[in-house]
Structure 1
Amino acid sequence: MTQKPGKKMTVDEKDYQLYLVTDESFQKEEDFLSIIEESLKGGVSMVQLREKHLSSKDLYHRAEKLAALTSTYNIPLIINDRADIAMAVGAHGVHLGQEDLPLPALRRMVKEELLIGVSVATKEEALQAEAEGADYLGVGALYPTETKANTRKVSLEQLYQIQKAVKIPIVGIGGINENNVAEVMDQEIQGVAVVSAITKAKNPMEAAKKLKQRMIQNTSI
């Protein structure tokens, strides 16, 4: 799964099943990297670096360290919003929110070198993102979450309707944990994105393992 310069990893090579989004609450770099590594050992299959509070310089250094770590485990690294940082550290992609740089503009910048994911909350947004060339969608918030303010609520029925409307991979996001992950995966999506369920756990590796186990059990029924 090693990234080759100038070549975007294909969707078939991706495992969106357990997608970890980093939390902004870590003050110490060693704590941050330790928790991410434990989660990778537990089965996290993709990582997104989302650190809106950092300066560009600090974000670059954190992304550089995280890229080295995820590369060791052959896990794709996505950078939230910042294509410049993604390109600089050799990350695999960029994730955009609805208020970020428009997808077509970003695609003109990065060509086919990076995956582009887009956060959506409606079928209309999903169809637009797909038409503009998004590689995958993050759909939510499915449940109440303290991680991100001013989120739009998306029901499981809406998630299912979005899944039926598009052909690209979908990752459910927002308040997902061990207790509700099975009903999210029931909507026939490719994976879930989690933050607190792993980063706030006493044992991130075990938390990731339990989430993965619930998902595997659900898909095998």
Structure 2
Amino acid sequence: MSPPLGRLHVLTDARAGRDALGVATRAVEAGAPVIQLRVKGRTDRELYDLGTRLMAICARHGTVCVVNDRPDLALAIGAHGTHLGADDLPVAAVRRLVGPGHLIGGTAREPGRAARLVAEGVDYLGVGPAYGTSTKAGLPTPIGPAGVGAVARAVDVPVIAIGGITADRVRPVLAAGAYGVAVVGAVSDAADPAAATGSLLDALGEA
């Protein structure tokens, strides 16, 4: 059985020398229920070393750990799930690799693709960008809470809104139908990542 899916997903951020592990640790200690390991431009060994350290922190706090893009890395570090982007392996292929009980997330921004991913077997969807964001280059036009809601109404799995999410923007996406939110800069760029995590949890009603 897959672990329960929390409503706040904090993605690691190693841009421009940011302390991805340190920020993730503070977020976990503040109560973040899900951490997603997403780091670009590192060797597999570096990712494995970071992932094993992150998993140890998550294990101490009962936090779910999901790996972005890489089911092989997720299995290697004993993570709870894998989040797949549009150009990653198909859901069915990943399920054969990871077996039952491993969370698989998919990425969608419109109802048709979302429905196809659910039919293929994803456990939840990351939907966005909900708002404009500078943490990832080349993203399409933001879909806003209305776009998030359109996807949420089309599927029966949890929808996690991502892209430009701040504590003040949590309520609009929840009201539109999102189950939860995923954040990068709202925590990694905060002067106090633990306090920022707490503010997001307050907005989600999970403090």
TM category (shorter chain) comes to: over 0.9
Letter paired with 2:2: M
Tell me which of 112, 128, 146 is aligned to 2:134.
Answer: 146
Q: Does 1:39 align with 2:32?
A: no
Q: Does 1:14 align with 2:5?
A: yes
Letter paired with 1:202: A
Partner of 1:3: none
1:14-163 residue pairs with structure 2 within 5 A? 14-15=5-6, 17-25=7-15, 27=17, 31-152=19-140, 153-163=142-152
Task: Give 1:86 shift.
Answer: 0.6
SS of match in other structure, 2:133: coil
Task: Give 1:43 shift.
Answer: 2.3
SS of match in other structure, 1:72: helix
Decide which moves more: 34-43 or 141-150.
34-43
Q: Contact 2:83–2:104 at 8 Å: present in 1 too?
A: yes
Q: Deviations for 1:10-49, whole angstroms, at most 9, x for unmatched residues?
A: 5xx222x111011122637xx3322112111222110100
The aligned length equals 205
Q: Take 1:101 and 1:79, find their aligned partners in 2: how far apart are those partners? A: 14
SS of match in other structure, 2:168: coil
Change (3 A) 1:64 1:112: same
SS of match in other structure, 2:201: helix
Partner of 1:174: 163
Task: Give 1:115 shift.
Answer: 0.9
Q: Take 1:207 and 1:109, find their aligned partners in 2: how far apart are those partners? A: 36
Decide which moves more: 104-113 or 55-64.
104-113
Give the 4+ runs in structure 1 shifted more than 4 A: none
The TM-score normalised by the length of structure 2 is 0.94
Tell me which of 194, 200, 204 is aligned to 1:205.
Answer: 194
Q: Take 1:176 and 1:45, find their aligned partners in 2: how far apart are those partners? A: 17
Q: Deviations for 1:166-209, whole angstroms, at most 9, x for unmatched residues?
A: 11111000000122111111123211000100111000111111
Letter paired with 1:33: L
Q: Does 1:194 align with 2:187?
A: no
The TM-score normalised by the length of structure 1 is 0.88
Q: Take 1:14 and 1:107, find their aligned partners in 2: how far apart are those partners? A: 18
Q: Take 2:14 and 2:21, find their aligned partners in 1: how far apart are those partners? A: 13
Q: Take 1:157 and 1:172, find their aligned partners in 2: how far apart are those partners? A: 11
Q: Quote the sequence identity (%).
A: 35
Q: Take 1:155 and 1:214, find their aligned partners in 2: how far apart are those partners? A: 18
Structure 2: unaligned runs, 5 residues or longer = none
Q: Take 1:23 and 1:32, find their aligned partners in 2: how far apart are those partners? A: 5
Structure 1: unaligned runs, 5 residues or longer = 1-7
Q: Take 1:147 and 1:88, find their aligned partners in 2: how far apart are those partners? A: 27
